[in-house]
Amino acid sequence: MRNSTRHPESPGTGRVKATLSESDGSDTINDISCLAPCPHGDISASATRRALFGGALALLAACGFTPVYAPGGAGEGLRGSLLVDDPVNRNEFSFVARLEQRLGQARAAPFRLAYTVETRQEGVGITPAQETTRYNVFGTADYQVIDRVTKAVLAEGQVENFTGYSATSLIVGTQSVTRDAHERLMVILADQVVARLIATATDWHR
């Protein structure tokens, strides 16, 4: 087995050297030292993550990239500027809830977001006894951005995706997984719509 001997450096540096004997040829290192002097002997994981995240943002900014919801970002002015049509069924409730989570709730918004959501499901897993064991749920969402004053359609499009679920022998269980699959699909479609709105905001949002 590999033996390791620790040799602490001067106090306050937070470094530990590892001396390894090559008895088994493995490259496992059991001692990890700080990469920079640590005033208190350690660096918290959260502080490290913040430093890495800040460095990544700085690099992106240097390349001309602006975070979507940062000042000057493409999505900065979208929050609170779109009044989403009221939902009328379970799927639409999930769809609108996700849209409002991403875009914010608005009442005195300059734009209206109209939509139509449709779903269908297909059996994809069938046993020799002709029992369906798995279903895919397909969904489409058509949307329009409408100026609430002029009633002009400023942007429109369609997104589509699917989710799946396994059927169970219990009615209650089947109803639960079916509902969950539809809810997940609505979240996916709403996120796709938001992505489209952000990508085209410079063309219609003013």
Residues of the chain short of pLDDT 70, as ranges, are 1-76, 169
Q: pLDDT, tens digit, for every residue of 73-89?
A: 555 678 899 999 999 99
pLDDT at 46: 54
pLDDT at 175: 87
pTM (whole model) above 0.95: no
pLDDT at 35: 38
pLDDT at 140: 98
pLDDT at 70: 47
pLDDT at 132: 87
DSSP labels for the chain?
A: ---EEEEE-STTS--EEEEE--SS----------SS--TTS---HHHHHHHHHHHHHHHHHHTT---TTSTT-TTTTTTTSEEEPPP-SHHHHHHHHHHHHHH---SS-SEEEEEEEEEEEEEEEE-TTS-EEEEEEEEEEEEEEEETTT--EEEEEEEEEEEEEE--SSHHHHHHHHHHHHHHHHHHHHHHHHHHHHHHHHHH--
Q: Is 82-204 CATH 3.40.50.40?
A: no
Domain ranges of the chain: 4-62, 82-204
